[in-house]
Structure 1
Amino acid sequence: MNRPERIFLTGSNGIVGRHVTTALRAQHPQCDLICNTVDLTNLTETTEAIKAAGPLDLVIHLAALVPVDDVVSNPALGYAVNAGGTINLLSALASCERETGVSARLLYCSSSHVYAPQAEPIREDAPTTPASVYGKTKLMGEEAARSICAETERSLCVARLFSIHDPAQTGSYLRPALTTRLADADPAKVFELHGAGSLRDFLPAKTAAQHLVDLAFSSFDGVVNVGSGKAQTVAEFAQSLAPFPLNIKPIGTDNALVPDVSLLKSLLGEVND
């Protein structure tokens, strides 16, 4: 694609969004970055925001209802934001682009939750059979984006993020949950850990954001897994955050959800952090 000059970013206030904003402003200062401030579930507001932004070269769509617990407690909102918001965004783009004749490229940020756990590293062509409601909402948004963009000949990259983490995360994510528990943990006592042997690909959010920016600026159309390529158990990740050796007692069942990042490497080069 031609080097984008005007970029519209949704989800700029999220963990990944803040890192994406920093990367864009540091590495592409010549670009005009417009951060979305409206509710994407409202088509009128979304259309007005896109119209006010003017002709766009690139849209990076990160906005989503992410915490799995939040989506479970309000699945309708999860679908409205993760699928409906994506549809509204594309509808607004199509409406406004009729006047300009410019079709913005779209980077849609999806999730590893669209896959079911499996023993081997997961390729992009693996079946998408999400086990969680959150995964189902992201897959619906992804499918809508792919269908609409194919029909309108819009360039689309779908980036499926795996297990990102960041010191600034809060809420029900694994890292803040572990950090809270470790702050009060007794080194002499057993540390019970659900799914301790489960394999994940833990990628710093800052690195994930850089990959998303690089993919957005590439000419790649299609689906790509975004991870480090390093499998790590939940127990190993917990120990990496702990200030003392943990006496971990595994509880629950284990599974594996790690990506094959061969395609990502072929597009961006070495991706290990």
Structure 2
Amino acid sequence: MKKTINIGLTGSTGSLGKVVLKNFRLKKINTFKNDITNRKKVFEWIQKNNFDVIIHLAAVVPIKTVNKNRTKAKNVNFYGTKNIVDACVKSNISWFFFSSTSHVYSSSKNKISENFSTKPISFYGNTKLQAEKYIIKKLNKKKISYCIGRIFSTTNKDQKKGYLIPDLKKRISKSKKKLVLKNLNHFRDFISMTNISKVIFYLLNKRYKGIINIASGNPIHLKDIALTILKKHNKKNYEFIDNTTATSLVGNISKLKKITNLRINDSIKKLIF
């Protein structure tokens, strides 16, 4: 990879975007500071800067936020991505990275590989799958290389409210009454944002083409996360209530292991605190 590679980054103010900026600090990165639903601004930014590659992270992600305003979520996650892709085509970008999600899959008792059927487990996943399909159709037609990284669950100590773990931490730490914790009977696959940024770096260096799971491959029960936080704050008066059918989204990372030499082993405590 040439040292002077010019990278365009969306979503730089988000938790993952900040980590990517920090870990890519020696690279030439230009961040998009406007709304990706503003098609004119998107085209101006990409055409003006003559990027070699685009790393597209901008999205509406928290499930609660998405479900409260589905129109906005679709506008950003699908139509905003469409704007980015169309601008990439016009400027003949050489490589495009799209941060997708494990939510494009349905729940499975087995680890999920990239060729697993796509049946979104959430509306958020649906918006991302629509964007994936547009990317594949548009960029294949124009012969522009792209990588779709299906990112599984993630967190870090600076993650904003609206996500499961920061909301659990806040609620548990401030509670003075009995805690009733609902619907944590699910398995998820957590990978740290630092490791995600390292994976993206590897994919960029190799100009990886296609769809790839970005995950740890390790199932974590959401109740275990809650129990870890409860123990940290010495909370003993609590009850778990399961009102929903248990689901599981855990990645098969065989493909990822072939590409990178990273050892991804993020413990619950390391992820949370």
Letter in structure 2 aligned against 1:47? F
- Alignment map for 1:113-262 (pairs within 5 Å): 113-185=103-175, 191-242=179-230, 243=232, 244=234, 248-253=239-244, 254-262=246-254
Are residues 4 and 108 of structure 1, via their aligned partners in 2, closer, same or farther at CA, if it must alter by over 3 Å? farther
1:112 corresponds to 2:102: yes
Over aligned residue pairs, what C-alpha RMSD do you find?
1.9
Task: Measure the CA separation in 1 of the matches of 2:249 and 2:95.
Answer: 29
Partner of 1:265: 257
Displacement after TM superposition at 1:264 (Å): 1.0
Displacement after TM superposition at 1:198 (Å): 1.3
Displacement after TM superposition at 1:239 (Å): 2.3
Displacement after TM superposition at 1:91 (Å): 1.4
Task: Measure the CA separation in 2 of the matches of 1:145 and 1:2.
Answer: 25
Task: Measure the CA separation in 1 of the matches of 2:107 and 2:2.
Answer: 38
Task: Measure the CA separation in 2 of the matches of 1:184 and 1:43.
Answer: 43
Displacement after TM superposition at 1:179 (Å): 0.5
Tell me if structure 2 keeps the 8 A contact 1:60–1:106.
Answer: yes
Partner of 1:88: 83
**Unaligned regions of 5+ residues in structure 1, if any?**
98-102
Task: Measure the CA separation in 1 of the matches of 2:10 and 2:121.
Answer: 26
Task: Measure the CA separation in 2 of the matches of 1:255 and 1:11.
Answer: 29
Q: Over residues 201-228 of structure 1, what are the superposed CA-to-partner deviations in whole Å (9 max), with x where a residue is unaligned? A: 1222222222222222223211111111
Are residues 144 and 69 of structure 1, via their aligned partners in 2, closer, same or farther at CA, if it must alter by over 3 Å? same
Task: Measure the CA separation in 2 of the matches of 1:51 and 1:118.
Answer: 42
Task: Measure the CA separation in 2 of the matches of 1:157 and 1:72.
Answer: 27
Task: Measure the CA separation in 2 of the matches of 1:182 and 1:113.
Answer: 26
**Unaligned regions of 5+ residues in structure 2, if any?**
267-273
Letter in structure 2 aligned against 1:34? N
Tell me if structure 1 keeps the 8 A contact 2:95–2:146.
Answer: yes
Letter in structure 2 aligned against 1:46? V
Letter in structure 1 aligned against 2:224? E
Task: Measure the CA separation in 2 of the matches of 1:162 and 1:57.
Answer: 27
Secondary structure at the counterpart of residue 217 of structure 1: helix
Letter in structure 1 aligned against 2:164? L
Percentage of matched positions with identical amino acids = 30
Task: Measure the CA separation in 1 of the matches of 2:134 and 2:224.
Answer: 37
Partner of 1:6: 6
Task: Measure the CA separation in 1 of the matches of 2:74 and 2:240.
Answer: 37
Partner of 2:64: 69
Displacement after TM superposition at 1:268 (Å): 0.8
Bigger shift: 82-91 or 192-201? Answer: 192-201
Are residues 218 and 4 of structure 1, via their aligned partners in 2, closer, same or farther at CA, if it must alter by over 3 Å? farther
Q: Over residues 150-208 of structure 1, what are the superposed CA-to-partner deviations in whole Å (9 max), with x where a residue is unaligned? A: 1111111100111101111222211111111211345xx76433233311112222222
